């Protein structure tokens, strides 16, 4: 049986769904004496997210974490569908897809660890950063050459937008 190259899925993607820790961040947390937990995000990922939104793609965040600083950053990029504290990611995925009339084959989901596994088994294009855990790499149709928090999100968004002729010449997107 012939398997499809991940590139054959790119032209059908309309929706990007991302986990946060280990995907949009490098998975490390700096804990301050106050108990506040700081995460670091890549500005190039932010640019790609903003560009995708400006081009009409749906962006959704589903994370088990609940850091409100993460929500503020993502909403600042124009992402309105930010679901933090989601411990049943399949339930959140199904609700989001139903509310937005999205088909599974049109979804790219990038995750990096075991909580992402069930969702990734359902979507059209499961992807992961280079430093994802082995169980996630096995089910990913694409493994970015970039690590989480170091451009993996930019990598997948740029590939989809280029295949769909939505990247070239887009030098007007504003990002933070």
Helix axes 43-54, 152-163, angle to 10 degrees: 30
Backbone φ and ψ for 175, nearest 5 degrees, come out as -145, 165
Is 176 annotated to bind a ligand? Reply is no
112 is in an annotated binding site: yes
Cβ of 71: how many Cβ atoms within 10 Å?
18
d(CA 44, CA 17): 17
Identify the bridge partners of residue 83 per DSSP, sorted by sequence position. 62
List, in order, residues 6 or more apart from 94 with CB less than 8 Å away: none
Question: Could you give the residue ranges of the DSSP H alpha helices within 1-106?
Answer: 7-10, 43-54, 68-76, 89-100
- Round to whole Å and give the CA distance between 96 and 91: 9
Is there a binding annotation on residue 21? Answer: yes
Annotate 32-48 with DSSP letters as a single string. Answer: PTTS-EE--B-HHHHHH
Cβ atoms of 170 and 134 within 8 Å: the answer is: no
Binding residues: 19, 21, 112
Binding residue ranges for Mg(2+):
19, 112
Binding residues for substrate: 21
């Amino acid at each position: 049986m012939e398997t499809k190259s991940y590139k054959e899925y790119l032209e059908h993607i309309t929706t990007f769904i991302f986990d946060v820790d280990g995907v949009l961040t490098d998975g490390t947390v700096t804990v301050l004496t106050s108990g506040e937990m700081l995460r670091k995000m890549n500005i190039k990922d932010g640019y790609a997210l903003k560009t995708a939104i400006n081009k009409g793609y749906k962006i959704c965040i589903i994370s088990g974490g609940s850091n409100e600083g993460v929500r503020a950053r993502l909403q600042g990029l124009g992402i309105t569908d930010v679901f933090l504290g989601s411990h049943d990611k399949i339930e959140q995925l199904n609700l989001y897809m139903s509310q937005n009339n999205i088909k599974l084959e049109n979804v790219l989901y990038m995750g990096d660890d075991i909580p992402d596994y069930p969702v990734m088994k359902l979507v059209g294009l499961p992807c992961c950063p280079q430093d994802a855990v082995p169980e996630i790499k096995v089910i990913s149709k694409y493994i970015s050459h970039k690590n989480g928090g170091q451009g993996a999100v930019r990598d997948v968004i740029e590939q989809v937008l280029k295949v769909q002729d939505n990247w070239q010449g887009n030098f007007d997107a504003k990002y933070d």
